[in-house]
Structures are given as structure tokens and as C-alpha cells.
Structure 1
Amino acid sequence: MRIRFFYQLLISHISILILAFLILSLSFSQFVERYIFQNKVEELEAYGDQILTDLTLRLEGNEQFLAEYSQLLNTRHIKYILFNYEGKVIYPKLQSTPLIQLTEKEWTEISKGNKVSVKHDIKRFGQEVSLVAVPFMQGDRLGGGILLLSPITGTMNMIAQLNKFLLYTIVISLSASILISLVFSKSLIRRIKEIRNATSMISAGNYDVHVPESSIDEIGQLARDFNEMAGKIKESHEEIERLENRRRKFIADVSHEMRTPLTTISGLAEGIKNQLIPEDDIERGMVLIDREAKRLIRLVNENLDYEKIRSNQLKLDSVEINLSEVLEVVKEQLQMQALEKNNHILVICEAGITVIADYDRLIQILINIVKNSNQFTESGQIILKGLAEKKETIIEIEDTGIGIDPEEIESIWHRFYKADVSRTGESFGEFGIGLSIVKQLVQLHHGRIEVSSEKGKGTKFTIYFPKG
């Protein structure tokens, strides 16, 4: 059987309150009763001691003295009886001389010279009383004693009234506690339901959820943690969607790009095989096959490099490299491609500047950036500059090309991203992977890369390599 949390909480609160009130009321009632009876017994003992002391000091006029004491004690609703060593009543005078009503055990104690007190007696005197028996010893022998009685009917009525007030207090307090528990329990259940509903929304695919937060209790902290979790799930879901869209676009782009070289290679191979291409054009066809094959290899290598970096499988062999020589090597490798677009590559670097890096990966970084600059520059200039600072070596690659929109600058580092999809058919940089690899490689060197651009005026890449 399923019991709602609200009822579990309410029952537990009420049970604890009832138990606490019962223990408190019983303990208080017993304490008050013991306190009142103890005071009554101590009062009777004090009167008994005083009467016996006065009797031993007086040699005559005892009857007058005892009558005065009787009047005094009657005002306090106390009666006393004097008895001899045999237990016979000697005062007040009675028609007969009965024995005092003490049990054998009580008489034994008195015979030993010990006081006997009974806080609450309801059997021997026709009413509820407290009694005290004080012995009078003559040497080691019992000479008599005094028995004092005090009715406690009023005391019992007072205790009963007190218990009634305690009962009323318990009922009122319990009712108020139930009401307060009801209010707080409903508030708690409402907040839990909000988190539960939000959880259901997330499980249904709606990540745009938020539950009210507070810092007053653990539920509020849970709500805050839940909102943080929901936010991170939403970000992850959006990132997954972005990556999925890029993956689809990448597959479409790669399929499109691979179709052309594969078609070219297949057509030329088929023509050469079937002798459909003239002898004079075979060599040109082989060059075309070689170029298209290298284009496919470049695509595969870029993807392999990116995955190696992501899986932390790429190891660097960092050494001290002359920066001027590296920039000249990059210029020499890309000079022909730059001339095809009527671009000029310029190197500005002092001969003594060095950089600590992996030589092959540094070349890869610079070639990727220069290729990107050449791709988006027409009849312009690409400047490779090396600078030496106290703690860093700085490489600047600046072009006079078409530039990048400010809102697209951060996106150029994303895998599969292409700033200008109309240029997909270029012979290099066409797959949008190069700059993503560049940033990963720079970070592996514990460096950083920045880019600034102005639409229509050009783009500038700045790479910082630490000297340590």
C-alpha cells in the first residue's frame, strides 16, 4: 500500500508531539505531586518534633498546652494523637482508649526510634491523608510518640485541576502543532512537486525549466542544484545539436568534395585503361589524378590529426627553432599558390629570434593559417612577422583579404566551420578543419592564438608561444 509523503510527514510530526507532551505532562504531574506531599510530610515532622520538645520541657499544665496546640493545628487542618509505648492513645481523651492504627512494619520502625511518614494514605482514617509518626525515646526504649494527620483532599483536588489544565494545554498545543505542521508540510510537498514536475519535463525532452530557489533549507539548495543541472543538460543538449548539425553538414560537404576528385580519378583511369585518351594527354591526366588523390589524402590526414589531438595521442618534440628560417620555409612552400591568386607573401623577422616548439607541428600551424589567408585574399599581401618579448615569442600573420564578420570570429575555430561556403571548391582549406587543428596544436604548446578582423580590410592572426 502506498502512503503519500504528506501523510507520512504529518503522522511522524503528530506522533512525536503526542509522545513529547505525554512524557512532559506525566513528569510534571508526578513532580508536582511529590513536591506537595514532601512539603506536607516535612511540615508534619516539624510540628511533631516541636510538640515533643515542648512536652519534655514542661513539667505541668500539659493539658492546657496540648489544647492550645490543637487549636493552632486545627487552623492548618492538622490533627495529632499522643500515644504511649504500648500504642494506646493518651491524647485526646476518648471514651475508650484504642490503639493507634499503625502497621506492624511501621510500629517496628518507631520502636527503633525512626520516624514513619506516609505521603498518601486512603485506607485507615476514612479519608485521604498524609501522616507522620514521631517516636519519643527514653534511652533505648520507646516511651511513646505523636501521630500527626493532615487531610489531602484539597491537595488531590488541586492536582486533579492541574492535570485537567495540562490536558487542555496538550489538546490546544497539539491542535496548533497539527495546524502548523499541515501548513509547513503542504509547502514542502508543493516544492517537491515543482522539482518532480521539472524532472518530468526534462525526461520528456524540455530542458528549458526552472524551479524557484531559496537558501533557507536543503530543499532550496536542492532546487538550486537542480537548476544548475538543468542548465548544464540544456547546454549539453544544445552542443550536441550543434555538433550533430555540423556533422551532417560535414558529411554533405565531404561527400560533395570527394565526389568530384573520385569522379575525375575514375574517369581518367577508365579512359587510360580503355585507350580513350590520346597519348599526348595521358601525362596531363596522370598529373590530374595525382593532384586529386593528394586532395583526398589531405582530407583524411586532417581528420586523423584532429582525432589524435582530441584523444591526447599526439606527442610533441619541442626544440628551440630559428623563427626566421621557419617563416621562410612556409613562404617557399606556399609562394606558388599565392602567385596563382596574385598575392605576395612578405616575411619580417630578425635573424636571432627563436621559438620553442615541435618543428613539424609549427610548420603545420603556419601553413594552415597562411593557406586560409591566401584563400580569402585576392591580389593582396600576406605578411608573416616574428617578434620577441620577454616571456613570449609572437608570430603575426596578417592579410589584406575580405575579412571576417565580428559575429563569426569565435566560430572559425569550430570543427567543420567554413566562413564562406561559396569557396568550398578551393584547392586548400576547403573542409573547415584546418583552423580547428591550429588552435588545438597551439594549446598543446601551452600557447594561445588570437584573431582580429575587419570586414573588407583583412584579418590578423596572432600566436603566442611561451619561452619557458
Structure 2
Amino acid sequence: MKLQYQLNAAFTALLIVIMAVTGYVIYSLILDLLIEDERRQLEQKGEIIVNVLNETYRTQEDVQQFNDFLQDQDLQLFLYDRRQNKVLLSTMSNEVVNGFFMNNDFSDTTEDLWEYGNDKFVTSRILFYPETLGMELILLTPLRDIQNVQQNFIQRMLIVFLVGSLVIVSLSYFLTNKLVTPLTRLKQQLKKIEKRKFEEIEPIKATGEIKEVAQSVYDMANELQRYINSQQTFFQNASHELKTPLMTIQGYAEGIKDHIFDEKDEEKGLEVMVKEVNRLKKIINEMILLAKLESEQSVYNPTKVSAKVLIEEIIDRILPVANENELQIKHNDVEDITLLVDEEKMLQALLNLSFNGIRHAKSQLHITVTSPSKQTANIIIEDDGEGIADDLIPHIFHRFVKGKNGETGLGLAIARAIVEQSGGKIEVGKSQLGGAKFTIQLYV
């Protein structure tokens, strides 16, 4: 069963249960309320009659004189004498009076419902004053009349319930349709993702949490497409980077085997082969490290490291290369900031960025450590080189993406993976010095 039908069925069932319980409670209470209301009305009428009789007729001998007055009231009533336990007069026939007198105890003032034949009657009793007279006016109303009012009320209530149910069910259908339609469209988009038809993915119009889920699916599809494209690019670049040194090694090896080269060229060929083997080894080691950083949490072991000590180690390692290239290394006085990182891995990330800057710098490399807040620290490495091309900036941290004078194309990807393992983030932009500016944000 579709979700929309399930929701409508569940809502309708819940509505039926609520209305049934409500109807039962109302049906049970309405009769008592109507009886109580009828008794109150009878009491009001009886008190009016008793007041009139008390003012006009004050002795038992005067009873016969107001018989005509009672007959004109269009009420079912008895004038009862408690002392003699008999009905003095009534607006009903003697046969009915005798039937009531035989079936009910007139002296029992606690009985609210009297019976006559198959019918029941609601009673209300009002004493004459003074009470020493022992005279009492008893008014009756057939319970059948009250039950008819009850049935009429219930019928109208059922009509209201039915109309209300139709309106509510229609509204429920409209709301569930509005809720389910985006889910149906979202299902269609997920099918496209399953078939890798990323170019056909379309944003879904929705509200609330469904809108957030739809946006997440849309972002996921874009990320999957980017990931698949990056993987394809990775394999293409990896095959190219590995193929180049292998072809060089193969060419020289076959030439030496076939004695094509003289002794001097053979020696040069062996040197080239060793150089290419070392280059190949470096590429493979960096690929293995990058794969571990992105898939194995156990290779990263964070500890508390002083930022000042970390920068000093970086300076000590890059200074010989910088002096060789006649570059000036500048750094600020680092505050006593403690970082929670894997010291060896973070050192490698910073060295990758620093050596990258040295390769592209013209005369200087700046390393700056700042603490913009109590929770974060920024490490900035910038140079005065030509900078990174605008079209290369979005992809600079991807594998085998190399700028001018790049080596393996894995150094920046490794730096990104290490920083992200540390819970931080890395960004690239243009430096005021003219070259590239790498900013690492870490939590302290």
C-alpha cells in the first residue's frame, strides 16, 4: 500500500475512534443532562404554582376550589397529601392516578423516576408552606419525551460528525498528497542516482524536513558525481605518472641488454634508471600514505603539540633548501599555543606546503601562526611567486593535480587529508605578496 493511502487510512481510523468515543460519552451524558434540566424546569413551574396556591388557598377545605386552576395548566401533576398518603387531585384520569399509586411509592422522596406501564416519568416535588399542611405538588414529564430530544440531538450530532469527517478527510488527503508528492519525486531522483544519471538530477520543491532531505540528496548526487569524476581522473593520472618512469626504465634496460649504448651512455642510463626508480618509489609511497589517511583512522594518532616547537622544526628542515635557492624565510613570534594533532603527520603536511612555496617563491616565504579565538589557531604559509591559476584553485587539493614545477601532484592532497584528519580545514587563495597563500585552521 502506498504511503499516502496508509496515512489517510491511519488518520481516518483515528478519526473514527475519536468520534466513536466522543459520541458514546455524549450519548451517555446527554440523557442525564436532559433529565436534570427537565427536573429543574418542572421545579420552577411547580414553585410558581405553589406560590399562587399558597397565596390564594390556605386550608385543606379550599383544595376543591383550585381544581379548575390546575386543570388549565396543561401539566401532568398530583396534589399529594403526605399525612393521609393519598392523592387529593390530579390533572390525569383516575385510572392513571391509581396506576401510578400502585406502581410507585409516593412517600419515597428519594425516587426520581416513576414507572407507569412501559413508560418512565421524571418527577419534581414541591412542598406547600407551611410544611405542617403535609401537602405536596408532584409534577411529571414522560421520559420518552426527553429520549426523543436525546435522539434528535444525537441525529444532528451525527450529521455534524459526518460533515466534519468529510471535510477533515478531504483536508487530510490534500495535506498527505502535499507531503507524499515530494517524497515520490525524491524517490525518482534516487533512482537516477542509482543509475548514475547525475546530469538528470533536479532540485525538488518541498518544505520543512523534506526540503532539507531533498537538498542533502541533491548535494550528495553532486558530490558522488564529483567523486566519480575525480576517481576517473585519478586513475588516468596515476597510470600516466607510473607509466612515464616505467617506460624510461624499460627503454634504458632494453638498450643496455642489447648493447646499444657505449660504456659512457650505459653508465648514464643506469643513473637515470636509479633516479626514475626512486621517483616511482616516492609516488607509490605517497599514494599508499594518502590511501591510509583517507581510509584508516588508526594511522593518525593525535597528541598535544606546541605550535612553537612545530614551526621551529619546519624552519630547521626547510632552511637549507631555502638558502640554496637564495630565499628569505620569515615567521612571526609564535604564542604558546597547544595543538591536538599527530605531530609526525602534521609536520609532513606543513613541509609539503612549505616546499611547495619554496619551489614557486621568487625571494621570500612567510610562515605565520595566529590565534583568532580561544578555540582555533591558524597556520598561514605564503610566498611571492606567480600564484595559482584561478581555474586550478578548485582542484588544487585533488590527487595528481600539479601546478607549474609540481612534482608528483600528491603533496597537497596529502596535506589536505592530514589537516582533515586533525578536524581542521585547509584553504588556498592569493597572498598579498603576490603568490599563493595556504591557510590551515586547527582547533586547540
Tell me if both proteins adopt one fold, taking TM over 0.5 as the criterion.
yes
Q: Within 1, Cα distance between the matches of 2:443 and 2:19?
A: 72
Q: Under a length normalisation based on structure 1, what TM-score does the superposition of the two structures give?
A: 0.66
Residues matched between the structures, number: 408
Within 5 Å, give how 1:316-465 maps onto structure 2: 320=309, 321=312, 325-331=316-322, 335=324, 344-349=325-330, 358=343, 362=347, 365-366=350-351, 369-371=354-356, 374=359, 381-385=362-366, 396-401=381-386, 403-419=387-403, 429-441=406-418, 451-453=428-430, 459-462=435-438
Match of 2:35 in 1: 33
| Amino acid corresponding to residue 68 of structure 1 in structure 2 | Q
Tell me the residue number matched to 1:181.
Answer: 168
Select 1:244's aligned residue among 217, 228, 247.
228
Q: Which runs of 5+ in 1 are unaligned?
A: 135-143, 214-223, 336-343, 421-425
1:70 corresponding residue in structure 2:
67
The amino acid across from 2:114 in the alignment is H
**Would the alpha carbon gap of residues 416 and 100 (structure 1) be closer, same or farther in structure 2, given more than 3 Å must change?**
same
Change (3 A) 1:72 1:399: same
Q: Is the 8 A contact 2:237 2:400 kept in 1?
A: no
- TM-score (normalizing by structure 2): 0.69
1:284 pairs with 268, 291, 301, which one?
A: 268
Select the residue among 196, 216, 228 that pairs with 2:212: 228
- Choose 13-22 or 360-369, whichever is displaced more: 360-369
1:450 deviates by: 5.4
* Contact 1:451–1:459 under 8 Å retained in 2: no
Please give the alpha-carbon distance, in whole angstroms, between the structure 1 residues aligned to 2:285 and 2:120: 112
CA-CA distance at 1:177 after TM superposition: 0.5
Question: 1:298 & 1:254 partners in 2: Cα distance?
Answer: 13
In the alignment, which of 7, 10, 13 is matched to residue 12 of structure 2?
Answer: 10
Q: Secondary structure at the match of 1:260?
A: helix
**Retained in 1: the 8 A contact 2:425–2:442?**
no
Residue type at the aligned position of 1:173: V
**How far apart are the structure 2 equivalents of 1:316 and 1:130?**
90
Q: Alignment partner of 1:384: what SS?
A: strand
Kept after mapping to 1: 8 A contact 2:395/2:401: yes
Q: Deviations over 1:9-65 (max 9, x none)?
A: 33542453355235324522332124424664798799899999x99x96xxx53x2
Evaluate the alpha carbon distance shift between residue 346 and residue 354 of structure 1 in structure 2; reply closer, same or farther with a 3 A threshold: farther
Distance 1:451 1:161, change over 3 A: closer
Measure how far apart 1:264 and its partner are. Answer: 2.3
Q: Separation in 1 of the partners of 2:83 and 2:382?
A: 128
**Aligned-residue offset at 1:286:** 1.3
Once the two structures are superposed, residues 404-455 of structure 1 have per-residue CA deviations (whole angstroms, 9 ceiling, x without a partner) of 33353243123332346xxxxx6xx34421112234446678887654449x
1:193 to 180, 200, 212: 180
- Structure 1 Cα separation of the partners of residues 11 and 162 of structure 2: 16
Q: What is the rounded CA distance, in whole Å, between the counterparts of 2:109 and 2:314 in structure 1? A: 114
Q: Write out aligned runs for 1:19-168 (5 A).
A: 19-37=21-39, 40=42, 62-63=60-61, 65-76=62-73, 77=75, 78-80=77-79, 102-103=101-102, 106=105, 110=107, 115=109, 119-123=113-117, 150=139, 152=141, 157=145, 159=146, 162-163=149-150, 165-168=152-155
Give the deviation of 1:305 after TM superposition: 2.7
Q: What is the identity, as a one-letter code, of the residue corresponding to 2:190?
A: S
What RMSD over aligned residues (CA atoms) do the two structures have, in Å? 5.1
Equivalent residue for 1:338? none
Query: How many angstroms apart in 2 are the aligned matches of 1:463 and 1:127?
Result: 94
Alignment partners' CA distance in 2, 1:80 and 1:446: 97
Does structure 1 residue 270 correspond to structure 2 residue 250? no
Would the aligned equivalents of 2:399 and 2:413 in 1 still touch at CA under 8 Å?
yes
Query: Do structure 1's residue 208 and structure 2's residue 188 form an aligned pair?
Result: no
The answer to whether the Cα contact below 8 Å between 1:80 and 1:147 also exists between their aligned partners in 2 is: yes
User: After superposition, what is the alpha-carbon deviation per residue over 1:103-147, rounded to whole angstroms, capped at 9, x for unaligned?
Assistant: 49838xx5xxx65756433249x997959799xxxxxxxxx9768
Between the aligned partners of 1:448 and 1:84, the Cα distance in structure 2 is 103
Query: 1:122–1:446: structure 2 CA closer, same or farther, 3 Å change rule?
Result: closer
Moved more, 439-448 or 8-17: 439-448
Maintained 8 Å contact 1:253/1:431: no
Per-residue CA shift, 1:44-100, capped at 9, x if unaligned?
799899999x99x96xxx53x222343444344444365986x788889xxx9xx96
Maintained 8 Å contact 1:83/1:145: yes
CA distance in 2, matches of 1:127, 1:234: 73
In percent, how many aligned pairs have the same letter? 19
User: What are the ranges of 5 or more consecutive residues in structure 2 without an aligned counterpart?
Assistant: 128-132, 194-200
**C-alpha distance in structure 2 between counterparts of 1:25 and 1:165, whole Å:** 11
> Between Structure 1 and Structure 2, whose CA radius of gyration is higher?
1
Task: Output the CA distance in 1 between the equivalents of 2:83 and 2:443.
Answer: 117
- Distance 1:182-1:419 versus aligned 2 partners, 3 A rule: same
| Residue number among 259, 262, 265 corresponding to 2:243 in the alignment | 259
